[in-house]
Amino acid sequence: MKKEILAVENIEKSFDGKEVLKNISFTVYENEFFFILGPSGCGKTTLLRIIAGFTQPDRGRVILNKKDITNLPPNKRNIGFVFQNFALWPHMKVKENIAFGLEIRKYPGDFIEKKVKEILELTKLKDVENLYPSQISGGQQQRVSLARALITNPQILLLDEPLSNLDAKLRDEMRSELKRIFKETGKTMIYVTHDQKEAMTLGTTIAVMKEKEIVQIGSPYEIYTYPRNFFVASFVGDINFLKGKIIEKIGEILKIETEEGLFYAKYKRPLNSENILFCFRPESITNKGENLIKGKMRDFEFLGNLLRLNIITERGNLFKIEILPKDFENYRNGEDIVFSIKKEDVILLEE
Ligand SMILES: Nc1ncnc2c1ncn2[C@@H]1O[C@H](COP(=O)(O)OP(=O)(O)O)[C@@H](O)[C@H]1O
Ligand SMILES: [Mg+2]
């Protein structure tokens, strides 16, 4: 049995009459790297602040280790928080910033020293321990912010878009660092981001948010392969779609009528309507077999390991497909191109 660390139950929040969070519920288990993924403004920061105790919900409960903490102040919650803007003390050295959480809890000096040393090692900040925040790089500041949150050994660590203030290269580096620190500490974490790549590469579980609601929770694989709706499907990756209508069901196989012809899908999830979107990912095409689509190549992008082709059909439907560069001979510029989608790779979504 997985051990439950944090549960959020039916959280609702409005600011000045405007609803910002609606019916938010989820459970985070021990040693999970739980991601909340959603576009800017959908309520992610508000949700984290409610979990940490900086904001009160209008309704709902926050449960930590089976204990209702909804009305506890932040400093009584045993939750760590890494802020988007780092929020370091400018007048304190790196090691003082890190030690602060233990100082105010009045731990003995030699204990603090030992803990700071451990955390400096974990976050690779030993060389800069005596510098001030203004004297270190953005990536190092981010690490200090992480070290400071980890040192009090919180039950759970909350991270609010921790990489968004870093440039692209640093972001990649810090992403691997976060993964390492997550593995080494075994700390349960909730990480909020609008960046699907961060969520897909780091997350053990992803909750996808749209506006004020969570629309799907699952592993990165589940979310990508079985998105519940078109918003989720297109937020976590590129997707092609075509309007269609289910006209027959033969066991698990659905027969679908579309503008581009009759297609077949093997799809086990229930659908509430016969009007659907026939969808597929750019990479899930083959060059022979069932569900043929014919078009012309409009242009292509070389992505290194992959070649992405834009295909336009006679009826004007545009599809993105991805192939291996070595397969390019089968797909020539300006020539007619035929590709196919396996029944198993079709994603059917309600309109
Ligand atoms: N203290 C506040 N007062 C009024 N409106 C707020 C406050 N905090 C957030 N909001 C509003 O709530 C919505 C969600 O904001 P936020 O939680 O910051 O979203 P995200 O972190 O996903 O970008 C936004 O429309 C924002 O303007
Ligand atoms: Mg935010």
Instruction: Give 57-78 pLDDT, tens digit per residue.
Output: 999 999 999 999 999 999 899 9
Whether 126 shows a pLDDT value over 90: the answer reads yes
Which ligand has an atom closest to residue 17 CA? 1
* Contacts of residue 276, Cβ cutoff 8 Å, sequence gap at least 6: 244, 245, 246, 256, 348, 349, 350, 351
Q: Which CATH architecture has domain 238-350?
A: Beta Barrel (2.40)
What is the 3-state composition of the chain as percent helix, strand, coil, each rounded to the nearest 5? 30, 35, 35
42 lines ligand 1 (CB under 6 A): yes
In angstroms, the CA 43 to CA 58 distance is: 14
Whether 100 shows a pLDDT value over 90: the answer reads yes
- Residue 43: pLDDT band by 50, 70, 90 thresholds? very high
pTM comes to: 0.90
* Contacts of residue 106, Cβ cutoff 8 Å, sequence gap at least 6: none
For residue 102, the model assigns a pLDDT of 92
Residue whose CA lies nearest to ligand 1 atom number 12: 20
194 lines ligand 1 (CB under 6 A): no
3-state secondary structure of 183: helix
Q: Which of 5-9, 26-30, 244-248, 285-289 has the lowest mean pLDDT?
A: 285-289
41 lines ligand 1 (CB under 6 A): yes
Q: How much of the chain, in percent, has pLDDT values that exceed 70?
A: 99
36 lines ligand 1 (CB under 6 A): no
46 C-alpha to ligand 1 centroid (Å): 6
**pLDDT tens by residue, 251-276:** 889 999 999 999 999 987 888 889 99
Residue whose CA lies nearest to ligand 1 atom number 27: 41
13 lines ligand 1 (CB under 6 A): no
Q: What angle do CA 136, 138, 141 make, to 5 degrees?
A: 65
Whether 334 shows a pLDDT value over 90: the answer reads no
In angstroms, the CA 211 to CA 21 distance is: 8
**pLDDT tens by residue, 214-243:** 999 999 999 999 999 999 999 999 999 999
Of 172, 163, 182, which Cα lies nearest the Cα of 31? 182
**Superfamily of the domain at 4-233:** P-loop containing nucleotide triphosphate hydrolases (3.40.50.300)
212 C-alpha to ligand 2 centroid (Å): 13
272 lines ligand 1 (CB under 6 A): no
Domain range summary for the chain, segments of one domain joined by +: 4-233, 238-350
